[in-house]
Chain A
Amino acid sequence: MRNIYYLLRKEFRQIFRDPAILRMIFIMPALQLLILPFAADYEVKNIEIAIVDYDHSDYSMQLTNKLSHSGYFKLMANASSHHDAMEMVSKDEVDMFIEIPKSFEKELVREDKASLSLVINAVNGTKGNLGAAYAMAIVNEFNQEVRMEWIKLPRINPEPMIEVTFSNWYNALSNYQTFMVPGILAVLLTMVGGFLSALNIVKEKEIGTIEQINVSPIRKYEFILGKLIPFWLLGFIILTIGLVISFVVHGIIPGGNIGLLYLFSSVYLLGILGFGLMISNFTYTQQQAMMVAFFFMLIFILLSGLYTQIESMPTWAQKLAWLNPVTYMVEVMRMVLLKGADFWDILPHIKVVAFGGLILNGLAIWSYRKRN
């Protein structure tokens, strides 16, 4: 135990003397949390639209107004023909256009039905889908309004109408920032735990200092603990900085007990540190360690449900996602911060992560050889 104290003292001296590490610990989380939630936004607004109005009627004007005032669309042009509008789409001047045929109003009034055509640039699938959905909703609403004008209300509505009203819970304004911040925080913790610990151990190999440690009475487990404990503690510092930023800048007031986040993070970081340790066992230079860590990090982040829904992944990818430790961290962050989950809610996550941590650390210690 005495040796661990000396190792820790040495380790902290080195960490607080290394400007790169300090920047990574304090500035990186701050920047990521300040920039990413604002920039990485999935909400699709300002879809650029053109209208091809062959009808020039009252109703076609009403529909055009409705579309352009919805807030989702930006009316870019009134094209004179289908051909012109198509050209605009191909030149990327607009994302979609609506074509109102010549007899739109006449048919609507006389035959009680009319057709519209919607042409969408679906290169950006999300934007295309959402644009179509928004447009459909607006056209439907317009349809309802028109019919309401005509129908002389009978005593009992012959067609039962179901109207759906929404109420958003946990993230009342469907604010994307609120959704992203906990996720980004989770990734930050992973980077510090996985990256920095791996790099730190490999640095001793690269510089050769591990030789001197290996011929001293310091035992394997003491050396490893001396490496892991500092980064475990740094993880908490980052978590704290992150929570403060998400409160001050993004106005996220934790719905649940913050203590739960620290509890979960303490277990989670142990697993991630084990992962970092593994990387360091199989690499010999910091550059190699960096590349390997980066490779895994990319997979972890993209498979974590941070940016994409796990539920919409193919089944095999979903299985992978639930093998990914970052998934659990992102989930728990969102559960506790947004939904106000309690201990029993996150207990299953704790169990899985603790189990995974045991396996990772077991493998790491097994593969760490003090001599070969």
Chain B
Amino acid sequence: MISVNQISKAYGAKKEIPALTSVDFEVSKGELFGLIGPDGSGKTTLFRILTTLILADSGTAAVAGFDVEKDMFKIRNIVGYMPGRFSLYQDLSVRENLEFYATIFNTTIEKNYHLIKDIYVQIEPFANRRAGALSGGMKQKLALCCALIHKPEVLFLDEPTTGVDVVSRKEFWEMLKRLKSEGITILVSTPYMDEAELCDRIALIDKGRILEVATPAALVNTMDSPVWAISTGKVYAAMQLLSSFEGIGEVYPFGESLHAVVDAGFKDTAGLKLRLQKAGIADAEVAIISPTIEDVFMHKMKQAPHA
């Protein structure tokens, strides 16, 4: 449904700021595909290329079989795009915004109401309120409604849950699953690793390069080194200490504890605990854990070239 081949894009007068470098991936029909990466990794640039807003410097991309350059007008009829920044008319009401986006796609709210019903009922009490006066979460819901109202074949969601509270985020993802069951292909980007688990497949992207494309489960399995969790009250001191130890790769904070990627042959958790205690980290606890997507991401990022 979406195919991206060797897409590169750089910004600046002399193209001196690379945004995407030889990006390759495929998304099949009806898939919920996640683009996971930190801020500035090139997610939005990729979205803008796929939604025909900007042209790539090199490479080709197609959405639903249409080339993003040659068939841009065909693509614009069949995709829904929700930019990261709220970009609906703030001075029009909720209802008027929805109506406007329905009419310019030559459809009506009633015709595709079933698609947006679950979300729309939540903002319907404010149907006559101006979009600018909605809360953050409500704005996102309205934006999703507007992106869906013409029943797009492909939905592009650029960081739809950034700045949205935990409950709304959860609702949002449940909604995406429902849309998926309607046969809509969804490409969603997020900086939150926990959301990655909810996708069918994910691509890890960093500094404009795709590090890995796999299902969340397979991605975790690609981790060849064990990950240990170290919990202590002296997080910073422990982190510095661990980095100096032999056999320990990356060390990074994870929630309230530390995660360390250790050499494959390294098994002695009790030994590490002892070493830490000797060095003054008396409350150190060490445990072997199964790696999460964030661990994989941190690991891949360190190993990637030019990182």
Q: Which residues of A contact B (CB under 8 A)?
A: 2-3, 6-7, 10, 13-14, 17-18, 207-212, 214-219, 371-372
**CB-defined contacts of B91 to chain A, threshold 8 Å:** 14, 17-18
Q: Which residues of B contact A (CB under 8 A)?
A: 51-55, 72-73, 76-77, 79, 81, 83, 85-92, 96, 100-101, 103-106, 146
**CB-defined contacts of B104 to chain A, threshold 8 Å:** 3, 6-7, 216-218
| Residue ID in chain A nearest B72 by CB atoms | A371
**CB-defined contacts of A17 to chain B, threshold 8 Å:** 91-92
B54 touches A217 (CB 8 A): no
User: Interface of chain A, helix or strand or loop or mixed?
Assistant: helix
A217 touches B101 (CB 8 A): no
B53 touches A371 (CB 8 A): yes
Q: A216-B101, A216-B104, A217-B104 are in contact. Are A209 and B89 (CB under 8 A)?
A: yes
Give chain B nearest CB distance to A123 CB in angstroms.
50
A371 touches B54 (CB 8 A): yes
User: Interface of chain B, helix or strand or loop or mixed?
Assistant: loop
Pairs A–B under 8 Å by Cβ, sample size 25: A10-B92, A10-B100, A14-B91, A18-B91, A207-B87, A208-B83, A209-B88, A209-B89, A210-B87, A211-B53, A211-B81, A212-B83, A212-B88, A214-B52, A215-B52, A215-B53, A215-B76, A216-B104, A216-B105, A217-B77, A217-B104, A217-B105, A218-B104, A219-B73, A371-B55
B81 touches A2 (CB 8 A): no
**CB-defined contacts of A372 to chain B, threshold 8 Å:** 54-55
B87 touches A13 (CB 8 A): no
What's the Cα separation between A113 and B53 when bound, in Å? 87
**CB-defined contacts of A208 to chain B, threshold 8 Å:** 83, 85-87
A212 touches B92 (CB 8 A): no
Q: A17-B91, A212-B88 are in contact. Are A2 and B76 (CB under 8 A)?
A: no
Query: What would 11 more interface pairs be, CB under 8 Å, given A212-B101, A215-B52, A371-B53?
Result: A6-B104, A17-B91, A207-B87, A209-B89, A212-B83, A214-B53, A215-B79, A216-B76, A371-B52, A372-B54, A372-B55
Residue among A7, A10, A209, A215 with max Cβ neighbours from chain B (10 Å): A215
Q: A207-B87, A208-B83 are in contact. Are A215 and B106 (CB under 8 A)?
A: no
B92 touches A13 (CB 8 A): yes
What's the Cα separation between A212 and B79 when bound, in Å? 11
**CB-defined contacts of A18 to chain B, threshold 8 Å:** 91
What's the Cα separation between A217 and B55 when bound, in Å? 18
B51, B100, B106, B146: the one contacting A2 at CB < 8 Å is B106
B52, B53, B92, B100: the one contacting A6 at CB < 8 Å is B100
**CB-defined contacts of B103 to chain A, threshold 8 Å:** 6
Give chain A nearest CB distance to B109 CB in angstroms.
13
What's the Cα separation between A211 and B86 when bound, in Å? 10
**CB-defined contacts of A218 to chain B, threshold 8 Å:** 104
| Residue ID in chain B nearest A3 by CB atoms | B104
Give chain B nearest CB distance to A235 CB in angstroms.
22
Give chain A nearest CB distance to B144 CB in angstroms.
13
A215 touches B87 (CB 8 A): no
Q: A217-B76, A217-B77, A371-B53 are in contact. Are A209 and B87 (CB under 8 A)?
A: yes
What's the Cα separation between A68 and B125 when bound, in Å? 78
| Residue ID in chain A nearest B102 by CB atoms | A6
Give chain A nearest CB distance to B160 CB in angstroms.
14
| Residue ID in chain B nearest A216 by CB atoms | B104
A212 touches B52 (CB 8 A): no
What's the Cα separation between A210 and B83 when bound, in Å? 11
**CB-defined contacts of B81 to chain A, threshold 8 Å:** 211-212, 215
| Residue ID in chain A nearest B156 by CB atoms | A215
| Residue ID in chain B nearest A18 by CB atoms | B91
What's the Cα separation between A169 and B53 when bound, in Å? 61
What's the Cα separation between A207 and B104 when bound, in Å? 19
Residue among B81, B85, B100, B105 with max Cβ neighbours from chain A (10 Å): B100
**CB-defined contacts of A211 to chain B, threshold 8 Å:** 53, 81, 83, 87
B54, B90, B146: the one contacting A207 at CB < 8 Å is B90
What's the Cα separation between A219 and B77 when bound, in Å? 12
**CB-defined contacts of B87 to chain A, threshold 8 Å:** 207-212
What's the Cα separation between A109 and B92 when bound, in Å? 86
What's the Cα separation between A33 and B113 when bound, in Å? 52
What's the Cα separation between A371 and B105 when bound, in Å? 20
What's the Cα separation between A372 and B79 when bound, in Å? 20
A14 touches B92 (CB 8 A): yes
**CB-defined contacts of B52 to chain A, threshold 8 Å:** 214-215, 371
Give chain A nearest CB distance to B90 CB in angstroms.
7
**CB-defined contacts of B73 to chain A, threshold 8 Å:** 217, 219
| Residue ID in chain B nearest A208 by CB atoms | B87
**CB-defined contacts of A13 to chain B, threshold 8 Å:** 92, 96
What's the Cα separation between A250 and B77 when bound, in Å? 55
What's the Cα separation between A215 and B49 when bound, in Å? 11
**CB-defined contacts of B54 to chain A, threshold 8 Å:** 371-372
Give chain A nearest CB distance to B248 CB in angstroms.
45
